Amino acid sequence: MTRLCTSLLAGTLFAVQLATAQTAHTAATPPKDYAPADVAFMSGMIYHHTQALLMAGWAPSHGAGADVRTLCERIINAQKDEIRIMGTWLADRNEPVPHPDPAHMMMPGMTDHLMPGMLTAEQLAQLDRARGLDFDALFLQFMIQHHEGAITMVNELFARGAGEENPVYKIASGVFADQTTEIERMQHMLAAKMFGPTPTTNPR
C-alpha cells in the first residue's frame, strides 16, 4: 500500500512538473500568429524609415526653409516612434531586428535592403550637395518618391494576404494614411516653391 501511494505521488509530481515545463515553454515561445511577409514588411520598413530620418535630418544644416524644416521634424518624430515599435515587435517574436547604418546608404553600389521608393546612393549624394531653395525642392521631390514607395510596400503586404495581426495591421494602415496625407501636402509645397504664388491683379 505504501509503495502504491509512493508511485501515485511520484506520478502526480511528474505530471505537475511536465505541465509547468509546458507552460514555461509556451510563455517563452510567442504564438506563431504572423506570416513571413509580416516579418519582411516590418524589417524592410525599418530600413525605409532609417533613410527618411537621414534625409530629414539634413534640413537644419542644408538651409531648408521653415516649412520644410517643420515637415522634417514631423517625419523624424513619427518615424522614430514607428522604428521603435517595429523593432520591439520583431524582438518579441525572436525575429532579427535590423540596425541599419545610414552611412552605408551613402556608399555607391550599396543596393542591399533597397526598398521601394528608397533613394540610391547617387540620389542621396545629390540631395546632400543641395542648399537652400534647391534643397527644399529636391527634398520634396525625393520624399514624395520615398513615401510612394512606402505605400507600395503596404499594398504588397496586403496583396500577399498578410498584415492581419493587429500590430502589423496598425503600423501598415498608419503608414498608408500618414504618408498619403504627407504626399498631398508635399505636392502643394513643391508647386508653391517651383511656380510661386498665383499673382493677383489689383483692380483699377
In the chain, the largest separation of any two C-alpha atoms, in whole Å, equals 117
Q: Are 49 and 82 in contact (CB under 8 A)?
A: yes
pLDDT at residue number 48: 97
SS3 assignment for the chain:
CHHHHHHHHHHHHHHHHHHHHHHHHHHHCCCCCCCHHHHHHHHHHHHHHHHHHHHHCCCCCCCCCHHHHHHHHHHHHHHHHHHHHHHHHHHHCCCCCCCCCHHHHCCCCCCCCCCCCCCCHHHHHHHHHCCHHHHHHHHHHHHHHHHHHHHHHHHHHHHCCCCCCHHHHHHHHHHHHHHHHHHHHHHHHHHHHHHCCCCCCCCC
pLDDT at residue number 20: 43
pLDDT at residue number 132: 97
Return the closest-CA partner of residue 136 out of 37, 74, 70, 45. 70
Q: Are 72 and 57 in contact (CB under 8 A)?
A: yes
pLDDT at residue number 5: 41
pLDDT at residue number 112: 67
pLDDT at residue number 90: 98
Domain ranges across the chain:
33-195
What is the amino acid identity at position 12?
Answer: T
Q: Are 120 and 79 in contact (CB under 8 A)?
A: no
Return the closest-CA partner of residue 196 out of 136, 131, 148. 136
pLDDT at residue number 85: 97
| Homologous superfamily (CATH) for 33-195 | Ferritin, core subunit, four-helix bundle (1.20.1260.10)
pLDDT at residue number 109: 60
Q: What is the pTM of this model?
A: 0.79
Over its length of 204 residues, how does the chain's per-residue pLDDT go in tens digits? 444 344 434 444 434 343 444 444 334 445 558 999 999 999 999 999 999 999 999 999 999 999 999 999 999 999 999 999 999 999 999 999 999 887 777 776 665 678 999 999 999 999 999 999 999 999 999 999 999 999 999 999 999 999 999 899 999 999 999 999 999 999 999 999 888 765 554 544
